[in-house]
């Protein structure tokens, strides 16, 4: 296992220890989901950590003789591209620090390992703009401090003893997390992300102590491991819209039939891999058609669809000096997306074992039909840093600057994921990420404003100032018709719905100026709810101020039209009013019948000077 003196570990030993730890995390997936209450009780930390860590198993399970430094570099890169959720991104950054410290060395001593995990801990903290103790950061710190302290006290200590003692300190730090975060104490749980890291350390410690590797549980997520595949040069002038990819895994894939089926719906088809694992690359107009065909041949993972038309608009015939990109948490009318060349990174939606790319492989109408009929409530997850990184890299190669408007950081890890990906880009253009502190139509209004500035020739610095000034002035309100979806998704406890039903009240949700999505009031009774909702919103608009209004609806277009008419009657200073379908960000918890209104002071890009530099 370890070298004969027990004071060094090489790449093969560290890889085996990490595999053991990752298997433990995967085995605890459902427990981690159940205790997930911070930062949002959305029950997906176990799933996110399992998927994140599974993305490196291919690297770790390569043939013996792995060079330590090279293996760690590959591990860090795979984790960055595969990271999901806040904890996944933090752990990815931890391993980036470990890799940077290791450099080109072939084996760790306890001293160099201590330096590596210390740098990893620093990287993990630096990955967040507002680090919070009582989370995975606390156990990472305990792990690093324990090792560095032990090594300074006894430079001859053996690896197994050092890691085992660090495990004890990690468990103590984990048990202390409820004392550091009030939400954990009230729920009577430890932090889910911290628990995941503790399981990783425990699996490593067990392997280094006695050579026992925790086996892969029956609920293994190996289907989500996506090894890099080199494609031949592809035709870049496809008449189709989406460059679509996925990984097909099965015992025996009929590659000829798979190729023939895909060739009928697109072009630039590449089918790489072998009979057990095939990588699909094809240009199509309907990505879900690709995924539907591929599912007939095996299990899928790594679904991706890039909008080539949007990319072509970005690189040909534009005088803009910067590009605007957002995530699919933003709801933006199709004509604005097309007119202003706004780019979008899709979030992911999971109905049980079936996954979708938001607004790409599932339409809004299809989503609500599935939400009503599927007994399994969907989970949503932010785009992986690799999804951002891929689009950032493309845009920053063609523009001097890229401006990303992200979903509120108080409800999602999307902002941190985008910021982390921006830092990893090595393209010549600069990437700027703004936390919208908003969602849905409100986030969309800010993205549209940024794109209008770009179209008007306003410079990036002035645009950032304009948008950031509007962040605090953009408000979003939602009227929920039925609380059962919020309860099913874990956003509200059962008793809130029970009381609302007994009292016959209609709940109102808002995004407060700090970016938190929460209940902000009720309408008594169920009659005339749209009219009274319009009055509620109108009362919160500054008198005499010219205003832009966005209305989002969850397959209730008639109610949206009525709401628009009521707002026009109650607010005489409306500059523009647009109606769009409400996406999944709010809709997954509001369900069909939800109405949303966002308001922002009217700002014209023509009011600001054009950048003449």
Distance of CA 600 to the CA centre of its chain: 26
The answer to whether residue 23 sits within a structural domain is yes
Q: What is the pLDDT of residue 270?
A: 64
277-284 and 242-249 strand pairing:
antiparallel
Q: What is the pLDDT of residue 229?
A: 30
454-484: per-residue pLDDT in tens?
999 999 999 999 999 999 999 999 998 888 8
Provide the number of structural domains found in the chain: 3
Question: What is the band of 607 on the pLDDT scale with cuts at 50, 70, 90?
Answer: low
Our separate counts of H helices and E strands in the chain read: 25, 19
Sign of CA dihedral 75, 71, 201, 16: positive
Does residue 139 sit in the same domain as residue 212?
yes
Question: What is the band of 82 on the pLDDT scale with cuts at 50, 70, 90?
Answer: low
**Is the pLDDT confidence value at 567 over 90?**
yes
The answer to whether residue 457 sits within a structural domain is no
Which position has the token pair 């990690």?
170
Element (H, E) at 307: strand 299-307
514-565: per-residue pLDDT in tens?
888 888 888 887 788 999 999 999 999 988 889 999 999 999 999 999 999 9
Q: Poorest-confidence range of 11-20, 221-230, 262-271, 278-287?
A: 221-230
Element (H, E) at 26: helix 11-27
**Mean pLDDT score, 421-445:** 89
Q: Which residue has the higher pLDDT, 461 or 6?
A: 461
Question: What is the band of 169 on the pLDDT scale with cuts at 50, 70, 90?
Answer: very high
The answer to whether residue 83 sits within a structural domain is yes
Q: Which residue has the higher pLDDT, 393 or 569?
A: 569
Q: What is the pLDDT of residue 128?
A: 59
Q: Which residue has the higher pLDDT, 157 or 175?
A: 175
Give the whole-number percent of the chain exceeding pLDDT 70: 87
Residue numbers of the domain that contains 254? 236-309
Helical packing angle, 68-82 and 385-396, nearest 10°: 90
Q: Pick from 261, 290, 309: which residue ends a domain?
A: 309
The answer to whether residue 470 sits within a structural domain is no
**Is the pLDDT confidence value at 381 over 50?**
yes
Does residue 151 sit in the same domain as residue 122?
yes
Q: What is the pLDDT of residue 124?
A: 80
- The alpha-carbon radius of gyration of the chain (Å, integer) is 25
Task: Report the distance separating Cα 554 and Cα 590, nearest Å.
Answer: 8
The answer to whether residue 293 sits within a structural domain is yes
User: Helix (H, G, I), strand (E, B), or coil: what is residue 548?
Assistant: strand
**Is the pLDDT confidence value at 316 over 70?**
no
Helices (H), 428-549: 440-455, 460-471, 484-488, 494-503, 529-538
The answer to whether residue 294 sits within a structural domain is yes
What is the 8-class DSSP label of residue 544?
A: T
**Structure tokens of 15?**
């890889």
Q: What is the pLDDT of residue 608?
A: 63
Does residue 67 sit in the same domain as residue 199?
yes
Q: What is the pLDDT of residue 83?
A: 59
Residue 113 contacts by C-beta under 8 Å, 6 or more apart in sequence?
A: 9, 147, 159, 162
Tell me, what CATH number does 75's domain have? Answer: 1.25.40.340
Question: What is the band of 343 on the pLDDT scale with cuts at 50, 70, 90?
Answer: very high
Does residue 57 sit in the same domain as residue 192?
yes
**Is the pLDDT confidence value at 426 over 90?**
no
Does residue 174 sit in the same domain as residue 284?
no
Give the whole-number percent of the chain exceeding pLDDT 90: 42
**Mean pLDDT score, 398-409:** 92
Question: What is the band of 311 on the pLDDT scale with cuts at 50, 70, 90?
Answer: low
Does residue 54 sit in the same domain as residue 192?
yes
Does residue 170 sit in the same domain as residue 276?
no
**Is the pLDDT confidence value at 385 over 60?**
yes
Q: What is the pLDDT of residue 104?
A: 87
Does residue 494 sit in the same domain as residue 549?
yes
Does residue 484 sit in the same domain as residue 552?
yes
**Is the pLDDT confidence value at 312 over 70?**
no
**Is the pLDDT confidence value at 402 over 90?**
yes
Does residue 247 sit in the same domain as residue 197?
no
Q: What is the pLDDT of residue 612?
A: 41
Q: Pick from 309, 333, 356: which residue ends a domain?
A: 309
116-164: per-residue pLDDT in tens?
999 999 878 776 556 778 988 899 999 999 999 999 888 778 899 999 9
In terms of Cβ atoms closer than 10 Å to its own Cβ (0-12, 13-18, 19+), residue 112 is: middle
The answer to whether residue 75 sits within a structural domain is yes
Does residue 13 sit in the same domain as residue 91?
yes
Average pLDDT over the chain reads 84
Question: What is the band of 421 on the pLDDT scale with cuts at 50, 70, 90?
Answer: confident
Does residue 93 sit in the same domain as residue 197?
yes
Tell me, what CATH number does 283's domain have? Answer: 3.30.70
Q: Pick from 270, 285, 309: which residue ends a domain?
A: 309
**Structure tokens of 462?**
């002035």
Question: What is the band of 80 on the pLDDT scale with cuts at 50, 70, 90?
Answer: low
Tell me, what CATH number does 553's domain have? Answer: 3.30.1180.10
The answer to whether residue 315 sits within a structural domain is no
Q: What is the pLDDT of residue 474?
A: 96
């Amino acid at each position: 296992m370890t070298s004969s003196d027990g004071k060094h570990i090489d790449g093969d030993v560290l890889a085996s220890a990490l595999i053991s730890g990752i298997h433990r995390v995967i085995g605890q997936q459902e427990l981690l989901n159940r205790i997930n209450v911070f930062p949002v009780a959305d029950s997906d930390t176990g799933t996110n950590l399992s998927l994140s860590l599974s993305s490196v198993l291919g690297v770790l399970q390569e043939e013996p003789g792995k060079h330590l430094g090279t293996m760690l570099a590959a591990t860090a890169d795979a984790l960055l591209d595969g990271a999901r959720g806040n904890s996944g991104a933090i752990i990815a950054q931890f391993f980036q620090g470990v890799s940077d410290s290791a450099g080109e060395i072939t084996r760790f001593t306890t001293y160099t390992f201590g330096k590596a995990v210390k740098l990893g801990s620093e990287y993990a903290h630096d990955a967040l703009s507002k680090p919070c103790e009582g989370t995975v950061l606390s156990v990472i710190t305990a792990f690093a401090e324990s090792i560095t302290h032990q090594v300074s006290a006894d430079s001859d200590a053996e690896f197994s003893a050092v890691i085992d003692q660090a495990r004890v300190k990690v468990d103590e730090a984990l048990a202390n997390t409820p004392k550091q975060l009030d939400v954990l104490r009230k729920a009577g749980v430890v932090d889910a992300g911290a628990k995941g890291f503790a399981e990783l350390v425990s699996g490593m410690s067990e392997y280094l102590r006695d050579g026992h590797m925790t086996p892969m549980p029956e609920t293994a997520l190996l289907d989500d491991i996506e090894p890099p595949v080199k494609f031949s040069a592809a035709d870049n002038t496809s008449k189709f819209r989406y460059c679509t990819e996925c990984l097909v895994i099965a015992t025996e894939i009929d590659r000829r039939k798979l190729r023939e089926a895909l060739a009928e719906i697109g072009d630039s088809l590449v089918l790489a891999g072998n009979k057990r694992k095939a990588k699909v690359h094809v240009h199509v107009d309907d990505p879900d058609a690709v995924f539907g065909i591929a599912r007939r041949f095996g299990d899928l993972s790594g679904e991706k669809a890039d909008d080539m038309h949007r990319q072509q608009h970005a690189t040909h015939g534009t005088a803009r000096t910067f590009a605007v990109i957002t995530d699919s948490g933003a709801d933006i009318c199709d004509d604005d997306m097309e007119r202003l060349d706004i780019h979008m990174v899709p979030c992911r939606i999971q109905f049980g074992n079936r996954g979708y790319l938001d607004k790409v492989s599932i339409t809004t109408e299809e989503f609500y039909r599935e939400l009503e009929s599927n007994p399994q409530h969907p989970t949503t997850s932010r785009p992986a840093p690799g999804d951002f990184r891929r689009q950032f890299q493309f845009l920053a190669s063609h523009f001097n600057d890229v401006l990303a408007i992200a979903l509120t950081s108080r409800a999602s890890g999307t902002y941190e994921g985008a910021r982390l990906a921006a830092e990893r880009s090595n393209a010549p253009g600069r990437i700027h990420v703004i936390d919208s502190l908003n969602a849905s139509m409100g986030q969309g209004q800010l993205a549209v404003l940024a794109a209008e500035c770009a179209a008007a020739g306003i410079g990036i610095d002035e645009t950032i100032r304009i948008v950031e000034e509007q962040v605090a002035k953009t408000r979003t309100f939602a009227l929920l018709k039925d609380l059962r979806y919020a309860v099913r998704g874990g956003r509200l406890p059962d008793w809130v719905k029970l009381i609302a039903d007994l009292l016959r009240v209609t709940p109102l949700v808002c995004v407060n100026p700090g970016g938190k999505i929460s209940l902000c009031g009720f309408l008594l009774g169920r009659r005339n709810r749209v009219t009274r909702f319009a009055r509620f919103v109108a009362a919160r608009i500054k008198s005499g101020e010219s205003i832009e209004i966005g209305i989002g609806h969850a397959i209730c277009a008639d109610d949206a039209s009525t709401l628009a008419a009521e707002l026009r009657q109650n607010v005489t200073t409306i500059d523009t009013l647009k109606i769009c379908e409400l996406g999944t960000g709010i809709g997954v918890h509001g369900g069909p019948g939800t109405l949303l209104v966002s308001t922002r002071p009217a700002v014209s890009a023509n009011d600001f000077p054009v950048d003449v530099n």
